[in-house]
Structure 1
Amino acid sequence: MVSRIGEQIEISPVELASQKAKKTRINLASGSPDPSTIPVKEIEETYNEVLEDLGAKALSYPGAGGQEELIEEIEKYLSPLGILDKNDRIVVTSGAQHAMELLGKYFLEGDTIAVENPTFIETFNALKLRSSVVLPIDLDENGIKVDELKELIKVVKISLLYIIPNCHNPAGVNLSETRRKELVELASENDFYIIEDDPYRPIACNLPKPIKYFDKDGRVIYVGSFSKVLAPGLRIGFSVLRGEIAEKISLIEQLDFSTSTINQYVVSRLLKKGLIQSRTEELAKHYSRKMKVLRDSLLDKGFQNFNNPSCGFFLLLNLGVDSWKAFNEAINAGLSFVPAKPFFLRGGETMARLSVAISNEDQIKEGVDILSSIKKKIIQ
């Protein structure tokens, strides 16, 4: 016998595309940051500093909920956002994905939850596998359709809303400030929590205030990460929660001791040096340039049906043909992307998620050329 989770869990399209990408020339699948932007030298120097200063202490077991030194630096880092009050605590996790796993364990046991349609399948799975019913709420250019959510919660009680408000994965949109305020009001009035997944803020500029900024009742749980601005392999993320919830999440986190002690000290010092804070504008421009290349290339090849991403790595393209069939053809032609049907709870059969994270500008152009040839081949 195995558990329900053991029976239901399966490989995500992101992981599948990433595995296939290892054998292709052009990677328009990955959500990992551009290797050329990872500050390897600074990270190496900081590892050496930590080991010289702390010795064996840096290699000991981590404490529950995160090292105090790192928590203090994250508090300073978050201060300009105005999302911390006296009742909130920070819990350090092994990346944002780990935070989702812990939150799912704490909040859900066969509950009903709501998510954007589409949503990021890998993070969402940690919540879906512990839920009995998942309700999709459509997006438009201003983010989740709050009016649709209002109608739904008139007839269905939900426990959680999972949302990616900035540089949405895979849709690329930013949630409007008006809708952020409305969501907080709805959560308070209808007794549900909002998980605000915000990993792309460190690589984007001119974003609205976090949903958490408008939260006065502790209904919003803010989840952040340093994976996109530093390096995903460091596996350092965090969540901001009410004290009583944070205490329990810390204890659940301690069950697996998965958040590396030395990596916490390294990220703490990188924050203290200002390295992370200083990279936002540079990285935002870097990915914006590559996204423009992708958009222009798609238009040049006659693709019209795609979103105009506000920021981040991802563009959602309607190929007009079955995306899994196109994916298999693309792999044979040396291109990897992510078929986006699994990101949708309804629809999405012809949708593809294209990423500008890994590939350079020439590779992006060539990848679009390959997609165009594949579409013509399938239609014929």
Structure 2
Amino acid sequence: MVSRIGKEIELSPVELGSQTAKKVEINLASGTPDPRVMPLKEIKEAYEQVIDEYGSKVLFYPGAGGQEELIKEIKNIVLPSLDLSAKESEIVVTSGAQHAMELLAKYFLENDTIAVENPTFVETFTPLKLRSNVIVPISLDSNGINVDELEMLLKIVKIKLLYVIPNCHNPAGVNLCEERRKKLVELASKYDFYILEDDPYKPIAGSTPKPIKYFDKEGRVIYISSFSKIIAPGLRIGFVIAREDISQKLALLEQMDFSTSTINQYVVDRLIRKGIVTSRMKSLSEHYRKKMSILADSLQDEGFKDFNPPKCGFFLLLDLKKDSWKVFLEAVKLGLSFVPAKPFFLRGGETMARLSISVATEEQIVEGVKRLKKAWLNS
């Protein structure tokens, strides 16, 4: 008595890893930003300031597609820092990037064929999967999605959407090179499909190539980002940049659930205007890069060498060379959690593990890898 989506939806491996992480000493599973660098003082002040200035207005129902004040700050301050530009009418505020993906799936898909990177981020991919008929995996390497493989596919299969994570890939940690970004735009034009560019990590990534959207002249790229990594995920504020006919429809879909908090939009607007967002970009990229270097060095020290060194972000994808689920079960006994990465893959991935540096301290990362080695030996 339920829908196909109701039958197919299941617990994500990320949620499983996060639930397990609450019960262990060392968390190499969570994708939550480091709580030690969240701007708690500034967020608290922003809540007080917007309530004092706007009163009950900040507790009204949110307007369709986002508050005007926040949209202006995204256009004038945030987008230039991301090497992008857009008209205000092309920007839609959402309850984080995850909400944006749900809206885009509703707008675009009805039993269609789509292509995704293999591996891909399972939680944002799920709304697309549940509304698609055929999903085609495209291989990923140290330079991002394999565009030659994609082009071979496009010669024989018609797709509606391509979903990509160009920066600090989750779970692989790689960046898509600029040459391939340009090629994707060319392919979208030639073979008539849209690109969903999921880019929540660019604000903390340091130096990266320009967004795929930067090279888009036909409105075929929909850009999705979030303030979750640069400020805090619990605020649930993200945004989409899309061609105006698409953004207008997304705004109407966004209004259907009224989920994007009015007061949180005002708070993020205030934090942008105070320079909190742009000032944190450099420091956070250095913070996470240092922690990732510690993880990579620790893995090498313990004999784990089968991974592409991550360019930025939170995640490293490690080939354990044995069933990662069995290693995970042994790791939990030793007080360590990570994410067995098979569900991130449409093909393969049984031996892959996603390790995160976001929540653990530097000391916990080193100790966590030692426990991972013990779990590997015990499995």
| TM band (smaller chain) | over 0.9
Q: How far is 1:83 from its partner?
A: 3.0
Shift of residue 333, structure 1, vs aligned partner = 1.2
Query: 1:72 maps to which residue?
Result: 72
Deviation per residue, 1:31-52 (Å, 9 max, x gap): 0000001000000000000000
The alignment covers a number of residue pairs equal to 378
C-alpha spacing 1:16/1:291, structure 2 compared with 1 (3 Å): same
What SS class does the counterpart of residue 255 from structure 1 fall into? helix
- State the secondary structure of the residue aligned to 1:279: helix
How far residue 84 of structure 1 moved from its aligned partner, in angstroms, is 2.8
What is the 5 A alignment of 1:176-187? 176-187=177-188
Residue in structure 2 matched with residue 149 of structure 1 by the alignment: 150
1:28 corresponds in structure 2 to 28
Identity %: 67
In structure 2, what is the equivalent of residue 342 of structure 1?
A: 343
Give the Cα–Cα distance (whole angstroms) in 2 for the partners of residues 324 and 81 of structure 1: 38
SS of 1:224's partner is strand
Counterpart CA distance in 1 for 2:332 and 2:375 is: 11
- Structure 1 counterpart of 2:145, which letter? I
Deviating 4+ runs (over 4 angstroms): 85-88
- Cα deviation, 1:169-211, whole Å, max 9, x if unaligned, reads 0000000100000000100111100000000011111110000
Residues 1:38 and 2:67 aligned together: no
In structure 2, the partner of 1:7 is 7
Segments of structure 2 that go 5 or more residues without pairing to the other structure are none
Q: Partners of 1:282 and 1:106 in 2: how far apart?
A: 37
For the residues of structure 2 that align with 1:67 and 1:221, how far apart are their CA atoms? Answer: 20
Task: Provide the residue aligned with 1:361 in structure 2.
Answer: 362
AA aligned to 1:305 is: D
How many angstroms does 1:79 deviate by? 2.5
Give, in whole Å, the separation in 2 of the partners of 1:318 and 1:17: 17
**Quick one: distance in 1 between partners of 2:60 and 2:89?**
27
1: CA distance, partners of 2:86 / 2:56: 35
Q: Secondary structure at the match of 2:257?
A: coil
Aligned to 2:332: 331
| 1:245-324 map, 5 Å | 245-324=246-325
Question: What is the rounded CA distance, in whole Å, between the counterparts of 1:85 and 1:30 in structure 2?
Answer: 33
Q: What's the counterpart of residue 57 of structure 1?
A: 57
- In structure 2, what is the Cα distance between the partners aligned to 1:132 and 1:99? 21
Tell me by how many angstroms 1:329 deviates.
1.2
Aligned residue type for 2:66: G
- The aligned residue for residue 202 of structure 2 is 201
Aligned to 1:192: 193
Question: Residues 50 and 87 (structure 1 numbering): CA distance in 2 closer, same or farther, change over 3 Å?
Answer: closer
Gaps of 5+ in 1: none
For residue 115 of structure 2, what is the aligned residue in structure 1?
A: 114
The answer to whether the Cα contact below 8 Å between 1:81 and 1:213 also exists between their aligned partners in 2 is: no
TM-score, length basis structure 1: 0.98
Which amino acid is 1:257 matched to?
A: F
Residue 215 (str. 1) matches residue 216 (str. 2): yes
- The answer (yes or no) to whether the contact 1:88–1:241 under 8 Å persists in 2 is no
The Cα shift of 1:81 comes to 4.0
Residue pairs, 1:122-133, within 5 angstroms: 122-133=123-134
Contact 1:87 1:242 in 2 (8 A): no
> Matches of 2:83 and 2:166 in 1, distance apart?
17
Cα distance in structure 1, aligned partners of 2:285 and 2:45:
25
Equivalent-residue separation in structure 2 for 1:171 and 1:127 (angstroms):
20
Residue deviations 1:81-111 (CA, integer Å, cap 9, x gap): 4533459610000000000000000000000
Distance 1:288 1:219 in 2: 32
Q: Is the 8 A contact 2:330 2:378 kept in 1?
A: no
1:208 maps to a residue whose letter is: P
What residue identity is the alignment partner of 2:225? G
For the aligned residues, what is the CA RMSD? 1.0
Residue of structure 2 in register with 1:165 after alignment: 166
Partner of 2:234: 233
Instruction: Measure, in 1, the Cα distance between the counterparts of 2:320 and 2:72.
Output: 47
Report the counterpart of residue 16 of structure 2 in structure 1: 16
- Shift of the 72–86 alpha-carbon distance from structure 1 to 2, 3 Å rule, reads closer
Deviation at 1:341, TM superposition (A): 0.3
Give the secondary structure class of the aligned counterpart of 1:239: strand
Distance 2:371 2:87 in 1: 54
- What SS class does the counterpart of residue 363 from structure 1 fall into? helix
Structure 2 CA distance for aligned equivalents of residues 25 and 161 of structure 1? 39
Looking at structure 1, the residues matched to 87 and 254 of structure 2 have their Cα atoms a distance apart, in angstroms, of 22
Distance 1:22 1:70 in 2: 34
CA 172–82 in structure 1, closer or farther in 2 if over 3 Å, else same: closer
Using the size of structure 2 for normalisation, the TM-score is: 0.98
